[in-house]
Amino acid sequence: MDLFVQGVSHHYGDLQALDAIDLQVKGGQILALIGPSGCGKSTLLGIMGGMLQPTEGDVVAAGVPPADSLNPFTYIFQDFALLPWRSVAGNVALALEHHRLDRAERTARIEAALVLTGLRDFAAALPRQLSGGMRQRVGIARAVAVRPAILFLDEPLSALDAQTRELLLEDLLAIWQREATTAVYVTHNLDEAVRVADRIAVLSRRPGRIKQVMPVEIPRSERGDARHAADLAALHAQLWDLIRGEAAVADRELADG
């Protein structure tokens, strides 16, 4: 499925968060959204997945979601958003319970999602017993279980420590290696963007505008190769150039400015 963001602006009261955003998410591709803090990345992601009504403009999806997709637009949250009173399997089940599925298929989906995220042995554990990395794995399993057409990730790794982040990023890349995924990946981490994305959209500071959309030409699976290191470093530097000035100004802005 493709997604088209058309002339989207958003205001929170007097505060303008987004200004005339035009953007396309291409089916089978991962689009990274980067920009200085407070520039409206989360707002844009919310609008794209239908969780927030934009003040102006609209978002259009083209194509039909796959037949087995229960929830075409699915989020993975920065704070995991797990129900603390449900077990790991119960949290995954939450996304399936209100769909007409026979018991066998429901169990199969849960099982497959837990296996994919390495949570099989933790099915009965409660969220409070899990580390941050494992909690986010539950968030990923829950999203995988509904077979989304488009996945929205809002800084999925930023609540984790550096090592866990690296491990989980590798797992995500492995999952996306296996099955072509359409996703929008919000991050403030340029490294993550460069490793994950097919295209990187750079937002300006608030009110967020699209500053540039940069393709990453090197195939995702080859980005670890040494021969591409220089190209990726150059891309990283280019992105940093784009963002640096904005970030410095954004950092000095008053929150209610």
Partner 1 sequence: MAEETGQTPVPFRGGGFQPGARRWAPWAAFAAIIAGWQLASSTGLLPPLIMPSPYEVVLALGHLAASGDLTEHVGASLSRIAWGWSIGTLAGLGVGFAMGIWSLARSAGIPVVAALFPIPKIALLPLLILWLGIDEAPKIATIALGVFFPTVIGTYSAVDNVPRSLIRMAQSFNLPNPAIVWKVILPGAMPGILAAFRITSSIALILLVAAEMIGAEFGIGSFILAAGNLMQTDQLVAGVVLLSILGLTISFVLGRVEAWLLNWR
Ligand X SMILES: Nc1ncnc2c1ncn2[C@@H]1O[C@H](COP(=O)(O)OP(=O)(O)OP(=O)(O)O)[C@@H](O)[C@H]1O
Which parts of 87-126 interact with partner 1 (CB under 8 A)? 94-95, 97-98, 126
Q: How far is the CB of 85 from partner 1 (least distance, A)?
A: 4
Task: List residues bridging with 10 in a β-sheet.
Answer: 18
Window 224-253: residues binding partner 1 (CB under 8 A):
none
**77 interacts with partner 1 by CB under 8 A:** yes
Cβ-based nearer residue to ligand X, 14 or 217: 14
Sign of CA dihedral 44, 159, 176, 134: negative
Residue 41 is a binding residue for ligand X (CB under 6 A): yes
Q: Taking CB under 8 A as the rule, does residue 49 contact partner 1? A: yes
Nearest CA to 239 among 188, 172, 196, 177?
Answer: 188
Q: How many helices (H) and strands (E) does the chain have?
A: 7, 9
Q: Does 85 bind partner 1 (CB under 8 A)?
A: yes
Q: Are strands 2-12 and 56-62 parallel, antiparallel or unpaired?
A: antiparallel
DSSP assigned state of 200: E
Binding flags for ligand X, 42-61, as an x/- string (CB under 6 A): xx------------------
Q: Name the binder of 95 from ligand X, partner 1, Mg ion, none, CB < 5-8 A by kind.
A: partner 1
Q: Which three-class secondary structure state does DSSP give residue 174?
A: helix
Find out whether 6 and 59 touch, Cβ atoms under 8 Å. yes
